[in-house]
Amino acid sequence: VLASEYDPVRIACEYEAGGAAAISVLTEPTFFDGMLDHLTAVRSAVGVPLLRKDFVVDPYQLFEARAAGADAVLLIVAALDQEQLVTLQRRAWDLGLATLVEVHDDAELTRAIDSGARLIGVNNRNLRTLAVDVGASDRLAARIPRDVVAVSESGLKSREELEQLAAVGYRAFLIGERFMT
5-64 per-position pLDDT tens digit: 679 999 999 999 999 999 999 999 988 889 999 999 999 999 999 999 999 999 999 999
pLDDT of residue 164: 95
pLDDT, tens digit, 9 for 90 and up, residues 116-171: 999 999 999 887 788 888 889 999 999 999 999 999 998 888 899 999 999 999 99
Instruction: Please give the model's pTM, rounded to 2 decimal places.
Output: 0.92
pLDDT of residue 127: 77
Indicate if the pLDDT at residue 180 is higher than 80: no
- Tell me how far apart the alpha carbons of residues 154 and 139 are, in angstroms, rounded to a whole number: 15
pLDDT of residue 178: 44
Structural element, H or E, at residue 101:
strand 98-103
pLDDT of residue 88: 98
**Cβ neighbours of residue 119 under 8 Å, at least 6 residues apart?**
72, 98, 99, 100, 101, 148, 149, 151
pLDDT of residue 136: 92
* Identity of the residue numbered 73: V
Alpha helices in 57-99 (DSSP H): 59-68, 82-94
Tell me the three state secondary structure of residue 51.
strand
**Using an 8 Å Cβ cutoff, are 68 and 52 in contact?**
yes
List phi, psi (to 5°) of 125: -100, 125
Indicate if the pLDDT at residue 107 is higher than 80: yes
